[in-house]
Amino acid sequence: MDKFTVHQGLVAPIDRANVDTDAIIPKQFLKSIRKTGFGPNLFDEWRYLDPGQPGQDPASRKPNPDFVLNQPRYQGASVLLARKNFGCGSSREHAPWALQQYGFRALIAPSFADIFFNNCFKNGVLPIVLPEATVDRLFNEVAAFPGYQLTIDLERQVVVEPQGAEIAFEVQPFRKYCLLNGFDDIGLTLRHKDRIQAYEAARLASKPWLAQTLHG
């Protein structure tokens, strides 16, 4: 998982409350057994005018010109600004996979659904909760200024606006530690790889018959 320290990126607004995970990545794309390739189908039913299916070439699709991510001013956005209860609905981990693989590193909203919120941290995406009035103001700023960017400093826990004003946000220390170091659940375990290997070697030395059981 990529480390998250300081990120500066173009902001794209999704001005809808209660965006559920089926809108983020529709159910037909959950058939894949891989963890990659979901970015082209992020917000698929809003992003395209034709129905999408797994394995379809995105170049053959009909983009919806009215959808925010298809507008030229938001191309390359890596910070998503959303409304309350973003990520509600089913607990599919494919939703943060799709957001991350599209290019989003941070999400800002007044609130997130709990399971989605947790899954974001496990996949290198930083969900930031800010007061609704602050989010409203950011929506107005994004609409008024094409190319609007924010800088997110995770170590200092601040969102820095273009003019230099800082907005503080909260993040649990353990989640912050994992993002700063690029640790997902596997990465956390592999910190102890030497101790795990030593334990297994000692266990086999004391119970050599396990080797036959494991390899038989």
pLDDT of 216 higher than 60: no
| CATH 3.20.19.10 boundaries in the chain | 6-183
* C-alpha pair distances (Å), 179 with each of 7, 90, 108, 213: 12, 24, 16, 39
Please answer whether residues 52 and 41 qualify as being in contact, where contact means their C-beta atoms are separated by less than 8 angstroms: yes
Please write the tens of the pLDDT for every residue from 131-171: 999 999 999 999 999 999 999 999 999 999 999 999 999 99
Q: Which fold has domain 6-183?
A: Aconitase; domain 4 (3.20.19)
User: What tens digit of pLDDT does each residue of 50-84 get?
Assistant: 999 998 999 999 999 999 999 999 999 999 999 99
Distance CA 103, CA 191 (A): 27
